[in-house]
Structure 1
Amino acid sequence: MAFAISGGRVNDAYKPTGAVSTSLRLTDTATVAYQDLWKTQPHIRTVVSFLARNVAQLGLHTYRRVSDLDRERVTDHPLAQLLAQPNPYTTPYRFTEALVSDLAIYDNAILLKVKLPEQPMALLRLDPARVTPTGTNPFVPTGYLLGKQSFKPEDIIHFRGYSPVDARWGMSPMETLRNLLSEEHQATLYREQLWRNGARISGYLQRPADAPSWTSPAKERFRSQWQAQYSGDGSRPGGTPILEDGMTYVPAATSPRDAQYIESRKLTREEVTAAYHVPLPLVGILDHATYSNIVEQHKMLYQDCLGPYLQMIQQELALQLMPDFPDSDDLYIEFNLSEKLRGSFEEQAAQLQTAVGSPWMTRNEARARVNLPQVDGGDELVTPLNVTAGGQASPTDSAPPPIEAGSARALRAVEG
């Protein structure tokens, strides 16, 4: 099969938009940057931090494929050493946490390959809000611009999500949450103004039409006294209103119940969580949570929720970083996911005991788990007498052997 269409013809016909969004317009007068939304919107920060922290605690290991059935972990290869220490200033945990946070906030994460005096090769995080892709290729950037500094694609590791607008740059999930975040922004402003005014009920004063003429000094005096009495903080606000000239106070505020403030906050929290594909009970939304479904959703977390993030990071590092190292043809990178899916110690112990049919840990290994010193003879595996080859399946299975039918009848006859 032949490929007849050249890439140049596609590039000429399909130009990138060149529009890179780093902020969200919430109102006609308020445009907020993505990083400021993370800083000010508690639901955004809760979900983003949840994703980043759970991925960061997984170790990113390097393996060599020996055969189809065998592999070995590699620790002395330059690639493994780089992942173990991305740069002299950042731990692997903080490095991965920042990477996943950028993906969750911007749908883009950018790493710069650099050489430092302390390290022949290092990876530094670049803020996606300050980086702009350049070039006319509609599929990949031909350069990256940071301020006045331009970088080549081979100097950058670019993690990006999907965007129907520009294939070169991901689109933040916050764009989808624009309306909800706008409502939350307005509700926060309302609540802030309410408490700034002493949380008093809003309204207006109605003065009778036949009231005496109100001079400007008298009007200003009354206004100043009213504000000092019923707004702000201190000891005076909250007293009983004193009205003049037959005035009446007309409430004109919407109560939190009428505004469904609690329901809207709850809806925002759930919609933000759903937009990031996180199970609701795992971020504290326990309306329909039970012990059993929380346990199952915790298992699903590293399969359906974090699995795509892990796979993206592994494949992008294999594509954009691994070719820079020699002797890397049979290497691959993988998160140590098995540590999170093994279950509790009791579950692991029961599974291993059932699998091997006998004890699987020495006394010294057990003492090391509780930080106790070794003892003489503690390196021998103690096997109970009731566990032999072809005998009992478990050292905890101490039931007597079954009685045959003839022996059972004889025993009943003796007892009778």
Structure 2
Amino acid sequence: MAFWSKWLPRANPVRQPQNSIVGSGGGILISTAAELEDALRGGTLAGSGQAVTPNTAMRVGAVYACVRLRAGVVANMPLDIKRRVDARTREDASDHPLWTLMRRRPNRWQTPSQFKRMMQAHLLLRGYAVAMKVVSRGETRELIPLHPDRVRVTQRDDLSLRYDYTRRDGRRVVLEQADVFHLVGLSLDGVNGLSPIAYAREAIGLSLAMEDHGATVFRNGARVSGALTHPGKLGPEGQELLRESLDQFRAGGERDGKTLILEEGLDYKPLAMNAEDAQWIESRKFSRTDIAMFFGVPPHMIGDTEKSTSWGTGIDAQTQGFVTFTSEDDLTCWEETVNRDLINPEDDTLYARFNRAALVKGDLKTRWEAHVKALQWGVSSPNEIRALEDQNPREGGDIYYPPPNTAGAGSDNGGTNEPAQTA
């Protein structure tokens, strides 16, 4: 044996076959064929026989719509970095590198909306999202997203987190907690998030099985609209002649709705949808609603408006519920994670805050009604409102109008509606 071989390990050590999947914390004993299949599939086989993974789940329209909606809210909403000037004053920290990172360029190839949309999709499909920090001179300059399937998160005895990342070339890299931006959804251990795909596996697997069943039925042509009956028996030549005549009649769409002439006592009987087919359609609708429930999305937002009114306060109330209970949960997760992982803990003046007013950007009437109320009650000045609408300030627009006469005649301005103070 050479001298250096005692100090340098072999590049590709030979691994002996084992009857367990061994990790740093122990092993999983495999004693049956079912356990082996479950381990090889990663525990993704549903009761319907479909392998449900985050990639196959996105083939289901309801899953794709839910992920698109929730990720779009986070991606399209501006994430501001604020600075506390004093106990009552806040300002945009546009001079801080983190502002550029979250508002301009998170890395060398993605825009902020692309980065946030992808990370939120990882969070929804796998329960967590991970990005590696590129730090220069004590400040995070880039966020490199890592695929969650290649990252294994464990907690040491000292409660610190360890991230084992497997590169595309097979090499394993160990990242410390200070090197990672880590988003976690609903969790039972505080370290690993729960994947909705894992808990909705049966509903998604059922939907995949029904889609495959429907595609097979239509591919094989098993769905017929009617049947032709003959009082006697047709020979091979008669059957071939009848088949050619029907194919010629069906060719092209210009004969749709025309009358079919039958000879030799042929009788046509239309076939209506049977109970099995009707139950298949109802099952597809139920699975769609069930999947929407797992993702916290109202069914009408993914196109299921059958059991809810399409007008009035019904849809409005459900949409507001989505904003209050679902989107707010996502926004809070991002804000607190940015505060923990990207802001120096010694700097208690910086914090992250989504501009939630962007949710009503598309509703012109609601947006301007809010502006008028903010102006009337002295919450905002005209120039602040113009800045929200991306308009230049005007001269004399930095004034705050006093609220309507609710304080009585003892107010400083005598109850008039004159400007109370300047900015």
In the superposition, the TM-score normalised over structure 2's length comes to: 0.65
User: Does the 8 A contact of 1:63 with 1:333 survive in 2?
Assistant: yes
Aligned equivalent of 1:352, options 375, 390, 413? 375
Aligned equivalent of 1:403? none
Q: 1:96 to 1:373 in 2, by over 3 A?
A: closer
| Separation (CA, whole Å) in 2 of partners of 1:20 and 1:67 | 57
> Shift in Å at residue 368 of structure 1?
11
Matching of residues 178-217 of structure 1 within 5 Å? 178-201=201-224
Q: 1:351 to 1:379 in 2, by over 3 A?
A: closer
Q: 1:141 to 1:253 in 2, by over 3 A?
A: farther
User: Does the 8 A contact of 1:23 with 1:33 survive in 2?
Assistant: no
User: Does the 8 A contact of 1:55 with 1:310 survive in 2?
Assistant: yes
**2:86 is equivalent to residue 47 of structure 1:** no
> Shift in Å at residue 134 of structure 1?
6.0
User: Does the 8 A contact of 1:256 with 1:262 survive in 2?
Assistant: no
Q: 1:261 to 1:29 in 2, by over 3 A?
A: closer
Tell me the secondary structure at the aligned position of residue 108 of structure 2: coil
| Separation (CA, whole Å) in 2 of partners of 1:93 and 1:281 | 25
| Separation (CA, whole Å) in 1 of partners of 2:338 and 2:398 | 43
Aligned equivalent of 2:119, options 78, 93, 99? 99
User: Does the 8 A contact of 2:62 with 2:302 survive in 1?
Assistant: no
Tell me the secondary structure at the aligned position of residue 221 of structure 2: coil
Q: Deviations over 1:110-136 (max 9, x none)?
A: 1122379xx98311212212x141667
> Shift in Å at residue 367 of structure 1?
12
Q: 1:347 to 1:29 in 2, by over 3 A?
A: closer
Q: 1:22 to 1:98 in 2, by over 3 A?
A: farther
Q: 1:157 to 1:182 in 2, by over 3 A?
A: same
Aligned equivalent of 1:284? 303
Q: Deviations over 1:205-225 (max 9, x none)?
A: xxxxxx9xxxxxx9xxx99x9
Aligned equivalent of 1:264, options 270, 280, 283? 283
Partner amino acid, structure 2, of 1:337: R
Q: Which ranges of structure 2 fall in alignment gaps of 5 or more residues?
A: 1-24, 30-38, 227-232, 253-259, 263-269, 406-411
| Separation (CA, whole Å) in 1 of partners of 2:212 and 2:272 | 15
Aligned equivalent of 2:132? 112
User: Does the 8 A contact of 2:102 with 2:112 survive in 1?
Assistant: yes
Q: How many residues align?
A: 362
Q: 1:346 to 1:318 in 2, by over 3 A?
A: closer
| Separation (CA, whole Å) in 2 of partners of 1:69 and 1:87 | 34
User: Does the 8 A contact of 1:74 with 1:80 survive in 2?
Assistant: yes
Partner amino acid, structure 2, of 1:152: V
Aligned equivalent of 2:257? none
> Shift in Å at residue 151 of structure 1?
3.1
Tell me the secondary structure at the aligned position of residue 151 of structure 1: strand
Aligned equivalent of 2:143? 123
> Shift in Å at residue 333 of structure 1?
1.4
In the superposition, the TM-score normalised over structure 1's length comes to: 0.65
Larger Rg: 1
**2:195 is equivalent to residue 172 of structure 1:** yes
> Shift in Å at residue 54 of structure 1?
1.0
- Between the aligned residues of both structures, percent identity stands at 24
Tell me the secondary structure at the aligned position of residue 122 of structure 1: strand
Q: 1:83 to 1:367 in 2, by over 3 A?
A: closer
| Separation (CA, whole Å) in 2 of partners of 1:48 and 1:99 | 11
Q: 1:21 to 1:297 in 2, by over 3 A?
A: farther
Q: 1:368 to 1:183 in 2, by over 3 A?
A: closer
Q: Deviations over 1:63-113 (max 9, x none)?
A: 222333232220111222222210121111111111111111111111122
> Shift in Å at residue 294 of structure 1?
3.1
Aligned equivalent of 1:78, options 83, 97, 101? 97
> Shift in Å at residue 336 of structure 1?
1.6
Aligned equivalent of 2:173? 151
| Separation (CA, whole Å) in 2 of partners of 1:175 and 1:69 | 45
User: Does the 8 A contact of 1:22 with 1:106 survive in 2?
Assistant: no
